[in-house]
């Protein structure tokens, strides 16, 4: 027994000798170290020999409320220390050899007694009580000390390239080394004047905003960036030919911009009194922002320009807009006629006295307030009182010709969802669209040529109401970028009927032990076009659902089925009384034993008493799969695997959800179709919200104007939308052909959400539709009070982290990478089970996590 005690004592003593602990006095620093270097901490004791500390190359403890950084000196090999935005008052002796980058800005230092000798970058900005620091070492290249008015100006060594001393109560410009490139003395209003000799010729970036200047100093000959706003200067003089970027906002005495060098590609001159610009630099590409001025005219725009902001002026004439322009902001001017709009992403032109526009755009925010404004028609004084040039494109109206006079009389019912196609003179398909809920359609093509506009009535129970124009109209555009409007088509019911299934969709989370709604859009398919051609037609609808689900009940306000096993039957006395997209809705619960990728297959049979023009849609099959995670914005395809030579439909569904905190005003979907698809077969078969679309070659764009999609926290079900279409592959595709499609979802002005890639594979083998991945991760501690850590094999592979509650709703999450672990903060979430979804370069994986206090 004595030997055992001696052995234990020896082991304890050996470990004690190996580990060298120091006390960390600051409780917030202790908490940070425990969270990020837990294996090195024992309470407030830190093991200075711990490999995670010894081998660390950076220490990032910004914004932790730390006052005393004692303990940081034991990170012997760090190159970078970021300790900004704390409450630091005490700085220990830091590593003397390795540290090159030190960020101490936004703290409460009064004195810094020592600094490492090999610093390259020192940032002590915004320490207002700082009164003394060591001299600047010769190794420092970048020196930032703005917002330190009580600190004396040091001697600047040769070799310094960056000096920022903004907001420091300077009255004179200090002596600068001839190596300086970036000099910032912004917000020192007592300077008053700057002599030419005080600015070395090496300066490239100069910021003298708000320095009390009435005269612009002679500028360094190689300057590229000049910020001189907020002063009383009245003229810019002759600017150096090297200048690329000019910032002169809030300069009330600046009344004109003249002799701007052609090297410039960015101008920001907001809130001045500019009334005249002689010309704009011809190579300008990045930005013109001359908003809130007195301009009445503007010179020609450089052709490569991407962004224009001329809002809040008095401009009445706008020259040709650059072809590559992406953003146009010209609200609150005096423009009555616009030039042709290029393919803008953002356009804001409200507050101008225009009555018509030259063309419609693909930018979804345009449609929100311009879609109801007509295209200009020269000579039409009511449509175009300003006499603007005619708009461009081909537009028309499709209506139910109840007057049977072949003309739209202003009161007839619009015919929606009818496909319209545009062909060139050789019969090649150029563009596909459909009539919207108001019966309108629009083609963007406006080049000179002869075109054929064709409405697609094949296989549907409608006819053109008149022989002329019938189903097609010839359009000849003789002037480029002109408008050809009123290419209208009247329709009427034929003697045929079409009963069947248009499409199938789901709402909710198809996840084990969760409930979702299945909607079958079936019945008299003339409803899809806002018509009901025949009444007193009886029949039946039966829906068979096979897969790992249990039927719960019919959805509220839907018809009640007769249930027999997995078949749900409806006897229909009159299909005219059926609401196709609302009456056949069933609630299912996914089995708890269901696995990701398990198929749920739905077969619908529709039988009617009348003869059917298209029997191919009487029986309809569609499968969807159980998910292993929830993504509210995704793209699905059915089928996912087919035999070589398959030529039937591929059905795509793009789903989107507003997971923000406010309504989404406008939504746009963009989808580039695979070259292996036959674009002529494209057909929209379902959506939740009114929209319009254009398919030009392989590019599909869908607009949801004024959708006002509520956020998910306000109304979960109403925060969801979808768009469903089908299309056939090209004939004769061989084995191993892969058809891939990815969608981009734009909510208002936000960056797009990129969906998963929907894949269909041509194979002789029956493939599983489930997602497979070799990506795995560990999460700990679990359960937790809200802080979790994710560990993977390759930490830099993680692309996205999402958390959802058991209703499928997104939960706010903050995450960041700390010392080889992904830290996840869910402190704002309530107690209970959540789903953690981690996406990496190698796949997607989901785990359940539990929050409990």
pLDDT of res. 463: 83
Q: Number of helices (H) and strands (E), helices first, in the chain?
A: 4, 55
pLDDT at 853: 57
Integer Cα distance of 786 and 782 in angstroms = 9
Residues 6+ apart with CB under 8 A from 483: 358, 359, 375, 376, 377, 390, 391, 392, 393, 395, 446
- How far apart are the C-alpha atoms of 432 and 769, rounded to whole Å? 31
pLDDT at 63 (0 to 100): 93
Main-chain phi, psi angles of 29, to 5 degrees: -70, -35
Task: Report pLDDT for 623.
Answer: 92
The DSSP bridge partners found for residue 357 are 375
Instruction: Decide: pTM greater than 0.75.
Output: no
Residues 327, 308 contacting (CB under 8 angstroms): yes
Counting Cβ atoms within 10 Å, is residue 91 exposed (0-12), middle (13-18) or buried (19+)?
Answer: buried
User: What 8-state DSSP symbol labels residue 730?
Assistant: P
How many CB atoms lie under 10 A from the CB of residue 731? 9
How many C-beta atoms surround the C-beta of residue 238 within 10 A?
10
pLDDT at 365: 44
> pLDDT at residue 224 above 90?
yes
Query: Range with the lowest mean pLDDT among 174-178, 366-370, 398-402, 670-674?
Result: 366-370
The structure tokens listed for 512 are 């084990």
Q: Which pLDDT score, from 0 to 100, does residue 375 have?
A: 80
Res 366: pLDDT: 44
**DSSP annotation string for 762-808:** E-SS----S-------EEESSSBSSEEEEE-SSGGGEEEEEEEETTS
Q: Is 13 exposed, middle or buried (0-12, 13-18, 19+ CB in 10 A)?
A: exposed
Label residue 581 by pLDDT band (50, 70, 90).
very high
Identify the weakest region by mean pLDDT among 34-43, 50-59, 173-182, 788-797. 788-797
Contact 667, 704 (CB under 8 A): yes
Q: Which two tokens stand for residue 811?
A: 């939960």
pLDDT tens-digit map of 550-567:
999 999 999 999 999 999
Q: Of the candidates 576, 571, 520, which has an alpha carbon nearest to the alpha carbon of residue 543?
A: 520
The more confidently predicted of residues 372 and 488 is: 488
Which pair of tokens denotes residue 484? 């050809």
Give me the half-sphere count of Cα atoms (radius 13 Å) on the Cβ side of residue 172: 7
CB 263 within 8 A of CB 241: yes
**pLDDT value at residue 428:** 93
DSSP 718: G
Mean pLDDT, residues 659-675 taken together: 88
Burial of residue 300 (number of CB atoms within 10 Å: 0-12, 13-18, 19+): exposed
> How does DSSP assign 413-482, residue by residue?
PB--S-EEEEE-TT--EEEEEE--TTSEEEE---SSEEEEEEE--TTSSEEESSTTTTTEEEEEE-STT-
Neighbours of 262 (CB within 10 A): 14
Please tell me the predicted confidence (pLDDT) of residue 98. Answer: 87
Return the CA Rg of the chain: 34
**Least confident window among 460-474, 476-490, 794-808:** 794-808
Distance from CA of residue 629 to its chain's centroid?
A: 21
E strand spans, 106-169: 121-123, 142-144, 162-164
How far apart, in whole angstroms, are the C-alpha atoms of residue 630 and residue 807?
Answer: 10
Q: What is the pLDDT of residues 815-839, one digit of tens each?
A: 766 545 677 877 666 666 677 877 7
Burial class (CB in 10 A: 0-12, 13-18, 19+), 687: buried
State phi, psi for 524 to the nearest 5 degrees.
-75, 110
**Separation in Å, CA 820 to CA 56, 615, 703, 817:** 10, 60, 43, 7
pLDDT reading at 193 higher than 80: yes
Q: Would you say residue 796 has pLDDT above 60?
A: no
Cβ-proximal residues to 745 (8 Å cutoff; 6+ apart), any chain: 633, 654, 656, 667, 668, 669, 752, 753, 754, 755
pLDDT at site 192:
95
Q: Quote the CA–CA distance of 36 and 820 in Å, as a whole number.
A: 9
Q: Would you call 828 exposed, middle or buried from its count of C-beta atoms within 10 A (0-12, 13-18, 19+)?
A: exposed
pLDDT number for residue 180: 96
**What letter would DSSP give residue 354?**
-
Distance set, CA 495 to CA 498, 499, 540, 610 (Å)? 10, 13, 21, 10
- Is the bond leading into 639 cis (omega within 30 degrees of zero)? yes
CB contact set of 339 (below 8 Å; sequence gap of 6+): 318, 319, 320, 321, 358
- Per the model's pLDDT, the better-predicted residue between 586 and 484 turns out to be 586
Per-residue pLDDT of 699-743, as tens digits, reads: 998 988 778 899 988 998 899 999 999 999 999 999 889 899 889
Instruction: Return the pLDDT at 11.
Output: 41
Helix (H, G, I), strand (E, B) or coil at 88: coil
Q: Is omega for the bond preceding 155 within 30 degrees of 0, making it cis?
A: no
Average pLDDT estimate for 436-452: 84
Q: Name the DSSP class of 719.
A: G
Rounded Cα gap, residues 641 and 766, in angstroms: 7
Indicate the range of 388-397, 433-442, 584-593 predicted with least confidence.
Answer: 388-397
**Residue with the larger pLDDT of the pair 611 and 701:** 701
Judge whether 783 and 853 are in contact, CB under 8 Å: no
Domains of the chain, start order: 393-493 (2.60.40.10), 500-600 (no CATH), 631-767 (2.60.40.740), 777-851 (2.60.40.10)
Residues contacting 43, CB < 8 A, separation 6+: 30
Q: Is the pLDDT of residue 660 over 80?
A: yes
Residue 2 pLDDT level (bands cut at 50, 70, 90):
very low
Cα–Cα dist 210/190, whole Å: 9
* Cα gap 744→654, rounded to integer Å: 9
The 3-class secondary structure across 634-677, one letter per residue, is: EEEEECCEECCCCCCCEEEEEEEECCCCCCECCEEEEEECCCCE
pLDDT exceeds 50 at position 693 = yes
Q: H/E/C letters for each residue in 107-119?
A: CCCCECCCCCCCC
Averaged pLDDT score across all residues of the chain = 86
Number of residues in the chain: 853
pLDDT in tens, 250-305: 999 999 999 999 999 899 999 999 999 999 998 888 889 999 999 999 998 988 89
Cα–Cα distance for residue pair 256/296, rounded to 1 Å: 12
What percentage of the chain carries pLDDT values higher than 70?
89
Going from the C-alpha of 600 to that of each of 212, 512, 549, 597, 745, the distances in angstroms are 73, 12, 8, 9, 27
> CA of 160: how far to CAs of 129, 142, 176, 181, in Å?
25, 6, 9, 8
Residue linked to tokens 């995704």: 634
Indicate the pLDDT class of residue 775, thresholds 50, 70 and 90: low
């Amino acid at each position: 027994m004595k030997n055992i005690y001696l052995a234990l004592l020896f082991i304890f003593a050996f470990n004690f000798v190996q580990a060298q602990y120091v006390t960390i006095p600051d409780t917030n620093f202790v908490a940070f170290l425990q969270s990020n270097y837990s294996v090195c901490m024992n309470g407030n004791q830190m093991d200075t020999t711990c490999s995670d500390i010894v081998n660390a190359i950076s220490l990032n403890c910004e914004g932790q409320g730390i006052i005393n950084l004692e303990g940081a000196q034991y990170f012997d090999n760090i190159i970078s220390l970021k300790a900004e935005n704390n409450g630091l008052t005490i700085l220990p002796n830091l590593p003397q050899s390795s540290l090159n980058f030190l960020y101490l800005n936004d703290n409460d230092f009064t004195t810094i007694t020592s600094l490492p000798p090999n610093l390259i970058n020192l940032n002590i900005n915004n320490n207002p009580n700082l009164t003394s620091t060591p001299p600047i070492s010769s190794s420092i290249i970048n020196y930032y000390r703005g917002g330190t008015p009580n600190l004396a100006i040091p001697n600047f060594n040769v070799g310094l390239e960056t000096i920022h001393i903004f907001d420091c109560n300077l009255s004179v410009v200090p002596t600068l080394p001839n190596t300086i490139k970036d000099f910032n003395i912004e917000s020192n209003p007592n300077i008053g004047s700057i002599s030419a000799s005080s600015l070395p010729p090496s300066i490239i970036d100069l910021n003298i905003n708000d320095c009390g200047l009435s005269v612009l100093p002679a500028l360094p000959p190689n300057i590229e960036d000049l910020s001189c706003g907020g002063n009383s200067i009245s003229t810019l003089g002759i600017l150096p030919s090297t200048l690329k970027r000019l910032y002169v906002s809030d300069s009330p005495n600046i009344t004109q911009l003249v002799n701007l060098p052609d090297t410039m590609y960015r101008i920001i001159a907001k809130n001045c009194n500019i009334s005249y610009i002689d010309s704009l630099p011809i190579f300008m590409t990045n930005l013109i922002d001359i908003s809130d001025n007195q301009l009445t005219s503007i010179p020609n725009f450089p052709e490569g320009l991407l962004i224009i902001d001329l809002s809040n002026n008095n401009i009445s004439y706008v020259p040709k807009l650059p072809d590559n322009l992406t953003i146009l902001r010209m609200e609150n001017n005096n423009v009555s006629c616009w030039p042709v709009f290029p393919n803008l992403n953002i356009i804001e032109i409200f507050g101008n006295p225009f009555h018509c526009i030259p063309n419609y755009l693909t930018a979804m925010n345009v449609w929100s307030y311009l879609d109801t404004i007509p295209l200009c028609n020269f000579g039409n004084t009511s449509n175009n009182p300003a006499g603007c040039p005619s708009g461009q494109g081909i537009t028309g109206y499709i209506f139910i010709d109840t007057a049977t006079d072949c003309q739209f009389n202003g009161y007839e019912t619009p015919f929606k969802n009818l496909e319209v196609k545009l062909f060139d003179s050789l019969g090649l398909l150029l563009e596909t669209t459909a009539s919207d809920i108001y019966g309108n359609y629009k083609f963007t093509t406006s080049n000179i040529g002869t075109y054929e506009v064709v409405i697609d009535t094949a296989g549907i129970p409608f006819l053109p109401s008149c022989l002329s124009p019938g189903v097609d109209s010839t359009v000849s555009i003789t002037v480029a970028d002109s408008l050809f409007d009123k290419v209208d088509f009247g329709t009427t019911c034929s003697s045929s009927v079409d009963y069947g299934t248009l499409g199938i969709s789901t709402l909710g989370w198809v996840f084990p032990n969760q409930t979702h709604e299945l909607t079958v859009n079936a019945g008299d398919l003339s409803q899809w076009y806002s018509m009901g051609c025949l009444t007193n037609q009886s029949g039946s609808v039966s829906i068979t659902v096979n897969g790992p689900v249990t039927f719960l009940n019919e959805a509220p306000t839907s018809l009640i089925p007769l249930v027999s096993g997995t078949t749900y039957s409806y006897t229909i006395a009159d299909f005219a009384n059926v609401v196709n997209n609302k009456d056949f809705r069933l609630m299912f619960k996914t089995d708890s034993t269901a696995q990701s990728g398990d198929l749920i297959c739905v077969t619908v049979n529709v039988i009617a008493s009348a003869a059917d023009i298209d029997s191919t849609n009487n029986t309809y099959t569609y499968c969807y799969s159980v998910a292993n995670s929830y993504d509210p914005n995704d793209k699905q395809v059915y089928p996912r695997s087919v035999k070589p030579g398959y030529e039937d439909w591929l059905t795509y569904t793009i789903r989107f959800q507003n997971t923000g905190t406010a309504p989404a005003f406008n939504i746009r979907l963009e989808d580039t179709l695979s070259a292996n698809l036959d674009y002529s077969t494209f057909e929209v078969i379902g959506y939740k919200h009114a929209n319009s679309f254009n398919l030009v070659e392989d590019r599909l764009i869908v607009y949801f104007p004024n959708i006002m999609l509520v956020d998910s926290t306000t109304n979960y079900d109403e925060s969801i939308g979808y768009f469903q279409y089908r299309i056939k592959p090209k004939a004769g595709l061989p084995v191993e052909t892969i058809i891939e499609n990815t969608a981009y979802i734009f909510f208002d002005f936000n960056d797009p959400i990129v969906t998963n890639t929907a894949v269909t594979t041509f194979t002789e083998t029956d493939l599983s539709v489930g997602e497979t991945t070799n990506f795995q991760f560990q999460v700990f501690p679990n359960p937790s009070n809200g802080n979790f850590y994710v560990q993977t094999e390759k930490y830099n592979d993680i692309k996205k982290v999402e958390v959802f509650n058991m209703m499928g709703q997104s939960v706010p999450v903050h995450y960041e990478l700390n010392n080889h672990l992904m830290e996840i903060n869910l402190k704002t979430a309530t107690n209970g089970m959540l789903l953690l979804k981690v996406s990496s370069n190698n796949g997607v994986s989901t785990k359940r996590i539990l929050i409990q206090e």
